[in-house]
Amino acid sequence: MCPYIGWTNHSDPVSEFILLGFTCTWAMQIFLFSLFSVMYVLTLIGNLCITCTVWWDQHLHTPMYILLANFSFLEMWYVTSTVPSMLANFLSETKTISFSGCFLQFYFFFSVGITEDFFLSAMASDRYLAICRPLHYPRIMTKQLCTGLIVFGWSCGFILFLTPVVLISQLPYCGPNVINHFMCDPVPLMMLSCSEDTTTQLIYSTFNSIFMTGTFLFILCSYALVILAVLRMPWAASKRKAFSTCASHLAVVILFFGSVMVMYVSPGSEHPVEMQKLVTLFYSVITPLCNPLIYSLRNKEMKAALKKVFGSEISVHKT
């Protein structure tokens, strides 16, 4: 059954939205439901394994791995903010989401995304200090500073995005109420507003441009300095280890920021609807699935810790 195009009475405010999703073919919806269900479960398992490994292995209680554990824990919430709703949508005939539910999804998804930006920046700073300032690293990157970065990242991510969400939610919505997307994305939401609020659009686009571009440039500059420092290292073994760690971090940064900046740094630009869905799908579903693979497969210490922790758990259960 194909989802219908919903219109509300123009004199009444919108109380719910219709998320069209990807397709109206029932067989394809079942296939996509199965595919994304598997991807969601694998994402949760992969990131949970990294989080638990860092928690249980005392050797990984260093700033680099503590930040990684928080990042992996964050990824589980990131996919959970959208994927379960998307899966339910595949099996729904009405494909509706309440007004408050739509903006709650919008808020949590982008707040967690901002928190990811903070943690990626903190991880870049940690690698810069460890490689470029190794003698000062223990004095600078203390347990207190690491804890402060974690608390700052989690709190600021959820505080900063309150303003755009409140502004967009206060726009007048009187119909139509159809969002040609699989989630409550801000750009389609603003397009559904009965009146064009250029101030809200300007604040939103400025917020995204400054924050995303600023954090991205900060991370790139940090890793540029790291790469220069690595190239000056006299020992090949040290170079390989440093490059391996930085390559993992850079791969995650490029995957995440590359797709996000295409969509949100210039929201005024016209993107084809299907491209919007594919790009959003990439950074909201595929990237969180790839992150545990990137970090665990390219990091010898993480691979050894995973084998140690989960190998011992399997041995205990066998005995």
Question: Is residue 1 included in any domain, yes or no?
Answer: no
Integer Cα distance of 308 and 87 in angstroms = 35
**pTM of the model as a whole:** 0.84
Q: Look at the alpha carbons of 98, 211, 126, 282 in this order and tell me if their dihedral is positive or negative.
A: positive
Query: Does residue 88 belong to any structural domain of this protein?
Result: yes
Kind and range of the H or E run holding 71: helix 63-80
> Phi and psi dihedrals of 95, rounded to 5?
60, 35
Provide the residue range defining the domain that includes 227: 16-318
Residue 203 lies in a domain: yes
- Counting the structural domains of the chain, the total is 1
- Average pLDDT over every residue of 227-252: 75
For residues 237 and 207, the model is more confident at 207
pLDDT in tens, 96-139: 999 999 999 999 999 998 999 899 999 999 989 988 888 999 99
Residues ≥6 apart with Cβ < 8 Å to 142: none
Q: Is the pLDDT of residue 147 over 70?
A: yes
pLDDT beyond 80 at 24:
no
> Of 35-39, 242-246, 257-261, which has the strongest mean pLDDT?
35-39
Rounded to an integer, the average pLDDT of 209-227 is 86
In a domain, 53, yes or no: yes
Measured between alpha carbons, how far is 133 from 139 in angstroms, rounded to an integer?
Answer: 10
CB 252 within 8 A of CB 291: yes
Is position 3 within any domain? Answer: no
Percent of the chain with pLDDT strictly greater than 90: 31
* 241-252 mean pLDDT: 74
CB count, 10 Å around CB of 231? 10
Whether residue 219 is predicted with pLDDT greater than 70 in this model: the reply is: yes
174 in any annotated domain: yes
What confidence score (pLDDT) does residue 76 get? 95
pLDDT band at 312 (very low <50, low <70, confident <90, very high): low
**Residue 243, in any domain of the structure:** yes
Domain of 133, CATH number, reads 1.20.1070.10
- State the average pLDDT for the chain: 83
* pLDDT confidence of residue 1: 40
pLDDT at 204: 83
Confidence of residue 17 (pLDDT cuts 50, 70, 90): very high
The token pair at 278 is 């594919």
In a domain, 7, yes or no: no
